[in-house]
């Protein structure tokens, strides 16, 4: 994998009108699971540029990154071998245009409210990040209104 070096990835938690964008992965890792859209950073691309590009490719949406939510490692091991290692930076993003549709790497795409999240069975870290993003978006809205 990448010469034994961890890959850098981004996730974009798009919050609009109290709902968040989720995709069902169309490839490994996490094939078939609902998660936050995102992907790997390309050479010469900033983290925020990668968020914008990945969201456009996976969901058809235009977004504006607002703030960094978290940075974490996703490491998958098989015995003593590392199958993959991603360092992922998740951003809170604002919807800036476009219609939600499943694009590359996504089997499905959906808007979900906080109350609807349990039916998507998100991995624990994704759920934690989504809930944090919804809380932060609510605080931002409260301070600007």
Asked if residues 52 and 135 have their Cβ atoms less than 8 Å apart, the reply is no
Q: How far is residue 141's CA from residue 126's CA, in Å, rounded to a whole number?
A: 22
Residues in Cβ contact with 4 at an 8 Å cutoff, skipping those fewer than 6 apart: none
Catalytic residue (choose from 42, 108, 116, 138): 108
Examine the residue annotation and report whether 108 is marked as an active-site residue of this protein. yes
| Residues 65/69/82/58 CA torsion (nearest 10 deg) | -30
**Spatial distance between the Cα atoms of 123 and 53, rounded to a whole number of angstroms:** 23
The set of catalytic residues is 108
């Amino acid at each position: 994998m990448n010469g034994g070096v961890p890959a850098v990835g981004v996730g974009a938690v798009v919050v609009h009108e109290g709902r968040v964008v989720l995709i069902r992965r169309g490839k490994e890792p996490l094939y078939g699971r609902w998660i936050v859209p995102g992907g790997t950073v390309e050479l010469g691309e900033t983290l925020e540029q990668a968020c914008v590009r990945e969201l456009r490719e996976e969901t058809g949406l235009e977004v504006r990154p607002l703030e960094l939510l978290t940075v974490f490692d996703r490491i998958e091991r098989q015995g003593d071998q590392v199958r993959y290692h991603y360092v992922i930076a998740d951003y809170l993003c604002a919807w800036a245009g476009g219609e939600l549709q499943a694009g590359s790497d996504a089997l499905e795409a959906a808007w979900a409210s906080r109350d609807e999240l349990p039916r998507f069975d998100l991995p624990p870290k994704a759920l934690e990040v989504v809930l944090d993003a919804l809380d932060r978006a609510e605080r931002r809205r409260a301070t600007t209104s």
